[in-house]
Structure formats: structure tokens, C-alpha cells
Chain A
């Protein structure tokens, strides 16, 4: 597996975009990898199949590379990838909703990667939280799921989530709180959250 690269600063990302536009193959590959990775991680928090998450990520990355010349602020590359991912994901989730299909996010499935070691929290507690979230998260409306995924997978602040979702910062705050509130309504999840608080 490709090791996680150092977090790129906006200026170095902007430079990479400019190099790519100038025909630099290495810059193009680096941006393709970055776009695919960002999108894949969001899709894994929404869809239950690795293949489908990969398909969405590839479509997003192809869109990104194809329209790179239209990116006005090269430094805002990541935000732009998130916006395109949101568009693809919403379209797919809406289709799924019409088919009344509930998605258990890939990242929350039992076969997902081993949970991290957290100080004071045992592995069983994390696995239990994952299992309960798998059911509760899938029931949330698509925009709430997307807002939570952008926050807890990519650690984006409210303003960047708002930019990705195309809404106001206040709406993001509402989406996140409603999503968390819905998850909190599960008594077992609320109890587990207290265990995390104790940790």
C-alpha cells in the first residue's frame, strides 16, 4: 500500500496543479492519486462495497483531471475534489434511496481494517461503536451522512464542509448536530460514547 504522503500545503498543491497543467506527468499522477484517495475515503464512509467506492473515486478523479484547466484557485484543489465527490455521491445515494436500498458504510463493516489503539479504550468498545454506527448511520439522510463523513474522515472544518456541500456554514452546523443527535438517540451508542469520554 502506498504510504500516506505528508500533508500538502495549499501553496505546494497549487504549484503541483500548475505543473500538471504545463504537462508534467509526475504532477498529473500525484494529483490523480490525491483526488482518488480523497474521494475513495469519503465514498467508503457512505457506500458498502469497496468496488463501488473505488468506482466513484475513479469517476471523480477523471472529472477532476479532465476539468483541471477550469480550476480558478489551484490552491483549493482538495476542496474542489470534495465538491465533485459530493455531487457524485449525492446522485448515487439518491438513486439508492429510490430503490429503497440501505447502505452500510464500508468503513463500518465488520471486515473493515482493525480499529486503532486508543489510550484507555479497548478494541471491543471501538468495534461495538462501529457495529452500532453501521446501522444508525445508514438511516441518516444523504446530506447528513456526507457532512459527518467530511468531518470525521477528513477532519474538515464547518466552512470547508459548507463549500463542499454548496450550502451556508450555519446549515452545516445544523446538519452535523442533527446527524449527531440522531445517532445519540440510540441508547447503546450514547452509552458507548460515555465510555469514550471516560477514556
Chain B
């Protein structure tokens, strides 16, 4: 059978792929997430510059005015405290488990099989942690073979990786994205994954329609089982006192409707 015959059959068989289009929600997610990463760099540079200046001022003030330097130093530290990057930088740097995010895997707890794939120097996923779980979905963090930090969105083999925790950037709430609806329930809940600074005790998912979805047990990360038909708009992080410490826009709320089941829209 000459290859030309295969060509006609193969093209016809793959017609569905040849015509497939991304949804508006997927496109909005790409624009929002890539934009966040692009913006992060100058903000990081600015934070680094502020940090250096603050430390220099503190050092000068210490030399010149002794105790008067204390508020300046504390102010500089406060500026940098309470970010998501702060939570994960120590973990990536290999500091002990005391301050590691989330919790370790339990001895009998199933984890993605590739976590234990052998790579030079050990397993594929080093120091795996469970940051949050809901509805069968788990958000994992681990150190990848190259030394970067990776987040696995719900045991689907899809996740986000950062070469350095600093790339996660300033802010108390970071939205990693929606995951695959692998364990979708009858209501078609969409898992939405994110990271939170240690100051964040609760997060709320604000919808265009109806009351928010709240999670009061946030420890460094969250999995929210969202109702896409109610058009998710924003994630808000609260500290122990109930004060807002971080906000993250989710882009055009209407774009999430494409995840909704037809009978659940609106």
C-alpha cells in the first residue's frame, strides 16, 4: 500500500484534531498567566532594589543612631514578608522540614507514580509535599530533577514549574490555574489550584453570580471546587483577623462558562 493511500485515510481520521479550537477560557487563562509572569520580573527587581536600599539604610542608621535603626530594619523585613515566594524559597533551598510547606506524604498514601521514577541522584520528585486537597484532587509541590520547584495539579501529570521560588513573585495569593476535571462530580465542579502566603488563613472564590466559595483551612495552598457556570471572578486571601491580604483576578468571568456543563450554566 503506497503512502499516499495512508495519507488520505490519516487526514480523514484526524479531521477532529485538524479543526479543533481553544476555548475562550483557555485563551483567557494563557493571557492572564503569561501576563502575570511577564509582570513579575520588574516587580521582583523592584523588590530586590527596595530590599537592598532598605538594608543599606538600616545599616547606616544602626551605625549612626543605634536603636533608631530597629524600626527601619523591621519595616524592610515586613515589606518582604507574607509572600508566596517566601513560603517556597526555604523549601527549595533545602532547609529542614520544620518550615516546609503543606504536609509530607503519608507512608501509605498513593502519589503519582512518576514521583518515584529513578533519576540521577534519587527520585524524580524530591521532598514531595501535599499542599491542599479537595474532591479527590491534590495539589503537590516537589523539587524537580533540575533543582526547580514544581507543582502538580491534581495527579494529572500536568503542572507548573519554576526554576526558582522567587519567580512566583510577590503577593499573598498565586493562582496556578484550573486542572483537568479528572474526578468531576455530578455538578461538574472545576478544580482551581493556587498557592498562599503563610499569612493567609482563608481564601474566597468570588463569583459574578451568587455567594462566594470559602476555604478556611488554607496552609500554603488551596484547591477550590469551583462552579464555572457562576463565572469565577477573583480569589481573595484573608489573614487570621479576617483582613484582606491578597487578591488575584481570574480574568474575564464569562470565559469560565466554557468549562460548565450545559445544564449547569447560569
Contacts and interface: CB of A to CB of B under 8 A. Distances in A.
Given A107-B17, A149-B14, A51 B9 contact: no
Interface in A151-183: 151-153, 176-177, 180, 183
A73 interface: no
Given A92-B158, A108-B13, A184-B1, A196 B29 contact: no
B14 A107 contact: yes
B11 interface: yes
A29 B31 contact: yes
A153 B14 contact: yes
Interface residues of A, number: 66
A199 B9 CA distance: 10
Contacts of A53: 20
Interface in B27-44: 27, 29-31, 33-34, 37-38
Given A44-B17, A59-B158, A196-B5, A118 B22 contact: no
A57 B27 CA distance: 10
A99 interface: yes
Given A53-B20, A92-B158, 10 more contacts: A45-B14, A54-B22, A59-B158, A106-B17, A108-B13, A108-B16, A126-B13, A153-B17, A180-B6, A183-B6
Interface of B: 1, 3, 5-23, 26-27, 29-31, 33-34, 37-38, 113-114, 117, 153, 156-158, 160, 177, 179-182
A36 B8 CA distance: 26
A66 B5 CA distance: 41
Contacts of A59: 158, 160
Interface stretch (A10-18, A75-83, A109-117): A109-117
A32 interface: yes
A178 B183 CA distance: 37
Nearest to A97: B114
Contact of B114 (A99, A112, A113, A129): A99
A92 B34 contact: no
Q: For the complex, would chain A's binding face be called helix, strand, loop or mixed by DSSP majority?
A: helix
A104 to B, nearest CB: 12
A149 B10 CA distance: 9
Nearest to B16: A112
A74 interface: no
Given A40-B22, A66-B38, A130-B13, A194 B5 contact: yes
Closest 3 CB pairs of A and B: A107-B17, A112-B16, A65-B34
Contact of A36 (B30, B157, B182): B30
A66 B21 contact: no
A55 B179 contact: yes
